[in-house]
């Protein structure tokens, strides 16, 4: 056993698992790293599909600019990044699309005049939101739901009609079950420091102005978000084993053994970069104490509808990156105007649009046939935007159980899970470290560092 090379096995080759491998390769090439991926394709949710001959992102299509970790990783890998060609987001209302005010932080306007006159809310809704400036701050510390916090400060109308649509999308919807501290910890900080979310937004916007150039809202590698995982997978090379679903994890002698249909892999450390349900199943025999907390991280399904319209259609579109929809008001939760935001020569003059469907409380939509989903989206879009009734080409991509829910108490839950893991087992990824790609990259970097320290210590023990 003393002569066996120290090995780290990574389970799951999404952006998280692949980043762990890359970080370990760079930090210590003497560590033997293997990444086991169930499917025949690396990248997980980062995936490209062809629609009318155009490759389009079917999962994430960009990274949040305010979180630098994914962009930095792209640059380390030599990938060029681009920023959106359009700015500004629209809100769906019963009377048509209304632009969000220009200066907002997490959807909250910093300019009182903007809020006072904004037609996205009724006069009553706006007056209620402005009471945020005078309402006393919460006495208790600790988590509350994101909906609870927004409703308390800004009222139900601003919460349901304006903020939930823009804040809850990445988190699978339903602000009333999401943890405020795990989703937007800044909001509680603003309330504590400024006594108001509006004043907090004003301060954040002032700080951003003073602190040099503001990062763009979104960033992505040229040619699409999936370029990041393509590049990472290329660098992982023969460390990447596709079609290797890990079925079970056990302890044998002083190593971990991972069982797959094509054989067993022995490792000193294991980094699990898969969803919470799979993690729970794999850890059940070796770490029963984490089971209850993992079960409290449910997942929700979403879908992406990619639409390519006829030549000439792009010219009709309004500027802007797209629009978001209050819960249940339209077939889609959000719509991205891809040809406005990320124009590509391959689009010609065709409008390219991407709708997100499903999410908490709206998963039934995903049970419908593709044709019905496409029809629901295109006819709704035709009523809102100068687009034809039908698209020339459409693809529906379903992502079953792809979005973990950060419910009330999520941060404590994750801390407890990590505290109760056996030595040499690490968990990272979307369920724990950040819902988005940048959060996953940061979490993966930390997990790689922790695994490296662990195998270093193991090596020293073996040679002592
Ligand atoms: C539709 C959609 C749109 C999104 N848009 C954005 C966006 O615009 N910007 C953004 O930053 N984020 C976005 N996200 C979130 C982002 O996709 C995730 O944060 C990120 O991709 C998660 O990566 P991951 O590696 O943790 O998990 P995954 O991508 O889920 O990868 C997990 C991998 O593990 C594999 N696996 C599962 N079980 C096993 C097993 N037993 N053995 C071996 N392998 C296994 C899977 O096949 C998969 O490849 C979006 C998510 C969705 C679903």
Q: Of 210, 234, 252, at which residue does a domain stop?
A: 210
Residue 445 shares a structural domain with residue 399:
no
Question: In whole angstroms, how far apart are CA 236 and each of 26, 53, 265?
Answer: 11, 29, 17
Backbone angles phi, psi at 316, to 5 degrees: -80, -20
| Model confidence, pTM | 0.96
110 plus 203 within the same structural domain: yes
Q: Does the residue 397 lie in any domain?
A: yes
Phi, psi of 265 (to 5 degrees): -120, 130
**CA 12 – ligand 1 centroid, Å:** 9
Same domain, 412 and 286: yes
CB 310 within 8 A of CB 388: yes
Check whether residue 134 and residue 273 sit in a common domain.
no
Q: Which atom of ligand 1 is nearest to the CA of 16?
A: 25
Nearest-angstrom CA–CA distance, 339 and 353: 7
CA of 337 to the centre of ligand 1 (A): 23
Q: Which atom of ligand 1 is nearest to the CA of 304?
A: 1
Q: What is the mean pLDDT of each run of 10 residues along the chain (464 residues)?
A: 75 98 96 97 98 97 94 97 94 95 90 89 95 94 96 97 96 97 96 96 87 83 96 97 98 95 96 98 95 97 98 93 96 97 96 98 96 98 96 98 97 97 97 95 98 93 82
Is the domain of 290 the same as that of 324? no
Residue ending a domain, among 356, 379, 404, is 404
Q: How many CB atoms lie under 10 A from the CB of residue 425? A: 22
Q: Record the tokens describing residue 146, joined without a space.
A: 């994101």
Instruction: Of 133, 183, 134, give the one whose Cα is nearest residue 409.
Output: 183
Give the residue among 423, 417, 444 at the shortest CA–CA distance from 255: 423
Residue 215 falls inside a structural domain: no
Residue 217 covered by a domain: no
Residue 462, pLDDT score: 82
- pLDDT value of residue 460: 87
Q: Express as a percent the part of the chain with pLDDT over 90.
A: 89
User: Looking at the domain assignment, is residue 145 inside a domain?
Assistant: yes
| Structural domain includes residue 56 | no
C-alpha angle with apex 434: 298 to 423, nearest 5 degrees?
Answer: 80
Number of Cβ within 10 Å of residue 346's Cβ equals: 12
Mutate to test the pocket of ligand 1, among 9, 11, 12, 400 (most ligand atoms within 8 A of CB): 12
Candidates 59, 228, 297: which one to mutate for ligand 1, based on the most atoms within 8 Å of Cβ? 59
pLDDT of 195 reads: 95
What's the full length of the chain, in residues? 464
**Domain identity same for 285 and 416:** yes
Kindly report the CATH number assigned to the domain that includes residue 165: 1.10.3110.10
Residue 340: which CATH number?
3.90.660.20
Please check whether residues 418 and 289 belong to one and the same domain.
Answer: yes
Buried b / exposed e across 92-118, counting CB within 10 Å, b at 16+? Answer: bbeeebbbbbeebbbbbbbbeeebeeb
Q: Say what the pLDDT of residue 392 is.
A: 98
Number of domains composing the chain? 3
For residue range 281-340, list pLDDT tens digits in order.
999 999 999 999 999 999 999 999 999 999 999 998 988 999 999 999 999 999 999 999
Assigned domain for 77 exists:
no
- pLDDT score recorded for residue 453: 97
Q: Which of 393, 42, 77, 419 is nearest to 241 (CA)?
A: 42
Output the domain CATH number for residue 418: 3.50.50.60
For residues 159 and 290, membership in a common domain is answered with: no
Are 398 and 421 contained in the same domain? no
User: Is the same domain home to 411 and 291?
Assistant: yes
pLDDT in tens, 171-214: 999 999 999 999 999 999 999 999 999 999 999 998 887 767 77
Rounded CA-CA distance 222/226 in Å is 10
* Cα-to-centroid distance, 326 and ligand 1 (Å): 25
Whether residues 173 and 292 fall in one domain: no
Confidence (pLDDT) at 2: 46
Exposed (0-12), middle (13-18) or buried (19+): which is 389, by Cβ within 10 Å?
A: exposed
Domain housing 290: 7-45+225-297+406-463
Whether residues 206 and 239 share a domain: the answer is no
| Two tokens, residue 248 | 């079970």
Ligand 1, residues at Cβ distance < 6 Å: 11-17, 36-39, 44-46, 59-64, 170, 245-246, 273-274, 278, 302, 304, 399, 402-403, 429-430, 435-438, 440
Q: Does residue 79 belong to any structural domain of this protein?
A: no
Confirm whether 323 is domain-assigned.
yes
């Amino acid at each position: 056993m003393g002569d066996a090379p120290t090995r780290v096995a990574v389970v799951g080759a999404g952006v998280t698992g692949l980043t762990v491998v890359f970080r370990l390769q760079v930090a210590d090439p003497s560590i033997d790293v293997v990444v086991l991926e169930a499917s025949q394709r690396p990248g997980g949710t980062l995936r490209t599909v062809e629609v009318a001959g155009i490759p389009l992102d079917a999962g994430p299509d960009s990274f949040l600019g305010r979180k630098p970790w994914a962009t930095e990783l792209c640059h380390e890998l030599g990938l060029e990044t681009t920023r959106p060609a359009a700015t500004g987001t629209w809100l769906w209302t019963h009377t048509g699309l209304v632009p969000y005010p220009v200066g907002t932080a997490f959807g909250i306007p910093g300019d009182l005049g903007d809020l006072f006159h904004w037609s996205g809310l009724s006069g009553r809704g706006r007056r209620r939101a402005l009471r945020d400036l005078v309402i006393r701050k919460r006495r208790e510390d600790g988590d509350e739901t994101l909906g609870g916090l927004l409703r308390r400060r800004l009222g139900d109308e601003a919460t349901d009609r304006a903020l939930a649509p823009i804040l809850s999308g990445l988190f699978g919807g339903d602000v009333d079950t999401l943890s405020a501290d795990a989703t937007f910890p800044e909001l509680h900080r603003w309330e504590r420091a400024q006594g108001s979310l509006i004043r907090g937004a004003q301060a954040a916007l002032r700080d951003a102005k003073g602190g040099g150039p503001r990062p763009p809202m979104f960033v992505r590698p040229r040619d699409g978000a999936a370029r990041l995982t393509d590049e990472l997978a290329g660098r992982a090379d023969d460390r990447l084993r596709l079609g290797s679903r890990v079925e079970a994890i056990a302890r044998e002698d002083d190593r971990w053994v991972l069982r797959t249909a094509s054989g067993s892999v022995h490792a000193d450390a294991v980094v699990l970069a898969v969803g919470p349900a799979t993690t729970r199943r794999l850890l059940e025999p070796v770490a029963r104490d984490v089971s209850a907390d993992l079960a409290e991280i449910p997942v929700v399904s979403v879908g992406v509808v990619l639409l390519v319209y006829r030549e000439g259609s792009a010219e009709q579109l309004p500027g802007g990156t797209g629009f978001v929809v209050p819960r249940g008001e339209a077939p889609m939760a959000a719509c991205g105007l891809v040809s406005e935001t990320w124009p590509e020569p391959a689009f010609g003059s065709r409008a390219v649009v991407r709708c997100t469907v499903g999410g908490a409380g709206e998963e039934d939509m995903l049970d419908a046939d593709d044709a019905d989903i496409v029809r629901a989206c295109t006819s709704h879009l035709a009523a809102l935007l100068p687009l034809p009734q039908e698209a020339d080409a459409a693809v529906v991509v379903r992502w079953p159980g792809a979005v973990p829910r950060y419910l009330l108490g999520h941060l404590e839950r994750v801390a407890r899970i990590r505290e109760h893991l056996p030595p040499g087992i690490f968990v990272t990824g979307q369920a724990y470290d950040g819902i988005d790609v940048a959060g996953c990259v940061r979490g993966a970097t930390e997990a790689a560092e922790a695994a490296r320290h662990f195998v270093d210590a193991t090596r020293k023990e073996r040679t002592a």
